Structure formats: structure tokens, C-alpha cells
Amino acid sequence: MRTAANATDLRRREDNAHHVHIREVVARKLSRVRFLRRPAEPEPAPTQGPPDTVRVGGKGRPTPKRRDAEAKRRGPAPPPPRTQREASRMAKANRPSQEDRRTAAAARREGMERGDDRYLLPRDRGPVKAYIRDIVDSRPHIMGLFMPLALIVLVSVVLPFPAAQQYLSLFSLICLVTMIAEGIFLGLSTTRKVRAKFPNETVSALSIGWYSFTRASQIRKFRVPKPRVARGANP
């Protein structure tokens, strides 16, 4: 029995020694892992922005921007329309009244008659076109009878008298040839004057000639913009 007890104590001691050895090995490995781990970086301190500039002796707060002030004064934007009917109703509500449209049209027509570049068509804008109009308006032209001549031609077609038709057709042909010759001469002379007055401008003889012809073929009273010079003037 003593031999059995001694064997049991010996086995218990060996187990305890084995457990102690295992704990030492685990402790060494944990210490090694802790040594290889990177130290935690300290958290950066929160940065503070620059303090708001407050005017000394003022109202104690920064002045709001004009855009923010206007948006605050107008209030929140209306929600977008959800249906086609709401969209048409909103467009009709925002549409200017008939009186406003009539006033705007009258102002635009007056601006075109004065020759204001803000209201003129692109083909009539600029100092070059204004100078061409002054040259054309400074003298009478046979081309100004183009519209009455077209009316004569129309009457000659419907007349039941062959002799009258023949004479009116001949007269219309002579007037038409004269107008074409006058238009060519007017275009060449106007181009020469424009290039002398505006040497730095790139102008086309064909464009100037056609613009002069269309201006001269209109009756003086109905020309738009209105003539700025009297007949006989030297622009």
C-alpha cells in the first residue's frame, strides 16, 4: 500500500510540474506578442476653427450674406408640381398679365424704332449697320418704289386689256432693271464708305450691298429703325 501511495504522489508531482511548465511557456509567448504589438497612437486633440470675427462696437454677430438674407426674406421655396395639371396651373399663375405683355411689346417696339441695340435684331446691331442706314436714308432711291411697282405688276396681270398689260409690263421691266443697277451702285459706294470709316472692321461687300438694298427698297416712312438723318445730309 505504501508503494501505491508513493506512486500516486510521484504522479501528482509530475502533473503539477507539467502544469507549471505549460504556464511559463504561455506567459513567455504572451509577453513576446505584447512586445511586438505597436503602441496605440494618442488621439489627436480636436482642432478649433478660427473664431468668428466680431466687429468691435457693432451688433456682436457677423453680417449675413445678401443671398442668405434674401432667401430668408422670401421664405422656403414652394414644392415642385406633382402632376401636369399643377404644373400648368403654376405656369399660368406666374405668366405676366396681358397688360404687362402689351407694355413690354410697346417698349420693345419703341426701342427698335430708336435704334437701341438692346431691342434690335442681330442683323441691325452695331455701329457699322447704323452707318449704313444713315447712308441709305440720306438720299432718295428709285428702289423705294419697289412695293408700288409690285402692285402695278399685279394690276397689269388682272386687267382685261392686252395693250395696257403690254405697256405696264414694259414699264415694270424698265423700273426693275433700273432698280437693280441702282442697287449695285449703292452697294459698291456704301462698301467703300464703310471701309474708309471703319478700317479695323472686317466687312463683306455682299453683306453690305444686300443690307443697303433691303433698306433702300423700303418706303422711308415704314423703315425700322427710323431714319436718324434728313435727306440731303452727309453722314
Number of domains in the chain: 1
Domain that holds residue 187: 114-222
77-to-66, 74, 89, 179 alpha-carbon distances in Å: 17, 8, 17, 62
Asked whether residue 146 is domain-assigned, the answer is yes
pLDDT along the chain (235 residues), means of 10: 60 67 68 52 52 49 68 66 78 76 86 88 91 93 86 83 85 89 93 93 90 91 90 83
Asked whether residue 95 is domain-assigned, the answer is no
The reported pTM is 0.57
pLDDT at 129: 92
Residue with cell 433700273: 178
CA-closest candidate to residue 193, choices 143, 113, 139, 146: 139
pLDDT at 61: 65
Asked whether residue 178 is domain-assigned, the answer is yes
By the 10 Å C-beta count (0-12 exposed, 13-18 middle, 19+ buried), 92 is classed as: exposed
Asked whether residue 25 is domain-assigned, the answer is no
pLDDT at 231: 87
Asked whether residue 68 is domain-assigned, the answer is no
pLDDT at 171: 87
pLDDT at 84: 82
Cell numbers that stand for 192 in this block: 467703300
Other CB atoms within a 10 A radius of the CB of residue 211 amount to: 20
